[in-house]
Amino acid sequence: MLSSASNRVLTFTLQFSSSLKFSPKTHIDYRPGSLHSSIMSSASRSSPREALFDDSGCGGPITLEEWQRWGCVSPVPAMVNAVIQDLKLLENNIDAHMVFGGNGGKLQGDFKIQEDKKHRAKYETLADSDKKFQFYSARQIACRLLGSRGYLCQKCWLPMEDCMCSKVKPSSLWHGIKFWVYMHPKDFLRQNNTGKLLWQVFGVQAATLCLYGISEDEEIMWNAFKDAGKAKVWCLYPNHNNAPKTVQDAFSHQSSADMECAYSLTNKDRPLNFVLIDGTWSNSAAMFRRVKEQAKLAWGEEDIPCISLATGASAMHKLRPQPSWDRTCTAAAAINVLAELQLLPECSTHGLDKQAEAVEDALVVLLEVLTTRRLRMGRSITRKVRHSRDIC
């Protein structure tokens, strides 16, 4: 679910039963600030750091092992490694080190100036718009990977000293559901991203990362969709061209026998696929257009079923307020769809409420870790909305 870089996309908010409300579990000292409080993302403005390059190859091409440790399931994207190779060649040619820092591990210093000229020149040589798009995504991801090596934990995407992995309790997601976190490259490895919590809790096979613009990722996702069929693919996104359905509208018409048949063990490889668009509100429109384009290629029509969720507020609103209370973060949207499915008699026996709680617990842990980090670094934990179009 990036112009206001720490904000994310999904426009759904939560209204839980008493067992699923955030507030009882969120105990954080909250000190109100003025509208002029500093606006900082949870990604630290750390001291500049050089990319890790050594004879062991840790600064060379991304290996499959490293790629998958970051939460990915696809083969290593060829274009990402090509960008890394170009960066290394440039570093050798200009005798300047790659230096990263700030939000998202951005390039800094003289190397950034030279690299910016080079990548813009290469971008202009790409005649195909899709190639330009893939190059843009690959460059974003390559720089984030290099800037995060040795700095961020590869599982929780937090600085090593703030790693929250030991506090996250894994849970099994019911086999009748699969989440796809369709993530914008600028959200990849972002510390306050909440989509990552889904595979931390449920595992990468139940909640799979798909990076926008990375052909290897998108191919895996769409192959799964085509195998499942359009009727089993739902996007959690407010499609204004067609009225989105509620969970009850979408599924309550099915009889209990139909639901059990659809989700039987013999059909466990074809679950309901829920797509969570993970980027800012401004970026999400382009991401949703791409989903519709791919849907047209797969099924001959671009309309893809969309689900609208109930209203409420995410725990992360404390650090990342949204432009309105009907918008929330990626993890909270997943919590909500599980909670709403649990209310259907057909799904009430699958423990979806407990699975929603597991994600909620992880979300609270992330909120507490980010808040503690900000306070330790002398930063405000209050935020104001800078761009009404951006959401978490």
Distant-in-sequence, close-in-space partners of 349: CB < 8 Å, separation ≥ 6: none
Under the banding of pLDDT at 50, 70 and 90, the label for residue 205 is: very high
Q: What DSSP state is assigned to residue 192?
A: T
Triad 38, 40, 46: Cα angle to 5°: 120
Helix, strand, coil percent values for the chain (each to nearest 5): 45, 10, 45
**Taking the model in full, what pTM does it have?**
0.81
| Distance separating alpha carbons of residues 20 and 101, to the nearest angstrom | 38
What pLDDT, in 10s, does the model give residues 292-350? Answer: 999 999 999 888 888 887 755 555 555 555 554 456 789 999 999 999 999 998 888 99
* Domain layout of the chain by residue ranges: 49-147, 160-377
| pLDDT confidence bin for 104, thresholds 50/70/90 | low
Distance of CA 265 to the CA centre of its chain: 29
Which two tokens mark 72? 């990915």
DSSP string, 121-185: HHHHH--SHHHHHHHHHHHHHHHHHHHHTTTB-TTT-SBGGG--GGGPPP-PPPTTEEEEEEE-G
Q: What confidence tens digit (pLDDT) does each residue in 114-163 have?
A: 999 999 999 999 988 999 999 999 999 999 999 999 999 999 999 999 99
